[in-house]
Amino acid sequence: AVVGPSDAAQAFRELKSIARDLAKHRLGLNIEEWARRLASSKVRLTSNPNGSLAARWEARRQAVRRYRADLVRRAMTLDLRPLGAAVPSLRHRLGGFQVQPVSKPADAPRDQRALDTVARRRGRILLLGLPGSGKSTALRHLAAEWARDDEAPLPVLVSLRGVVPLLAGHRPFDAFIDAALLNVRALDRPLLAEEFRLRAADGRIAFLLDALDETREARFLVVQATEQALREAHRDSAVVLTTRDSG
């Protein structure tokens, strides 16, 4: 079933309206596009990962919604346990991070720009910084900002250190996806992996790759894997990679 019995009448009215509009413009839709139209009309769709195409689409949509919310929650939570503080985690607002281009001469004035703006305009950037300068925090906040914006690319936040043990038994692209989903609930992982692959095919995704310098002796292997993985993604896919500034 695409919708429950209580929503059948509303769904039928919406389908007729959509069909009239398509006929007027001589257009057609696939099953997922029909489901998207119904969802945008506030019709409650049946969610079932093992059901019809429309039901699986709805299950994937809900998994993405939970994933986006989790990215925002993690970025807004400050965990004090690593400091040995026996206090609850703190909540804070998302903050905008400023970056400076490094391609200009050393004596040229460097203008600061919002990381979100630079990443959107340039598409693929390398984010450098000294240890403890906030690169990982900036990446988490960028992921949260894009997670809150349905028009932004879907952020895939990956710890490159976490990719290393996965490369032995996975294709590079699969290793990156699995690393991004390590902290996601098990039921959502196959749905999100499917969504990531679909978005990577048309460029509606952003790979946020954190801490290349922390891969240490595996760095060359990770660089090769990153290159291979990005070959499988559309050229419009955004990429932000962080690493330590060598000076």
pTM above 0.85, yes or no: no
User: Is residue 69 predicted with pLDDT exceeding 70?
Assistant: yes
Share of the chain above pLDDT 90, in %: 51
Amino acid in position 214: E
pLDDT digits (tens, 9 = 90+) for 95-132: 677 777 776 555 545 557 888 888 888 999 999 988 88
pLDDT of residue 103: 62
pLDDT digits (tens, 9 = 90+) for 76-96: 886 666 566 666 666 667 667
CB atoms within 10 A of CB 233: 22
Per-residue pLDDT, averaged over 222-228, amounts to 96
Name 21's Cβ contacts closer than 8 Å, sequence gap at least 6. none
Alpha-carbon gap, residue 222 to 227, rounded angstroms: 9
Alpha-carbon gap, residue 114 to 58, rounded angstroms: 34
Alpha-carbon gap, residue 235 to 49, rounded angstroms: 30
**Any alpha helices (H) in 26-52, and if so which ranges?**
31-40
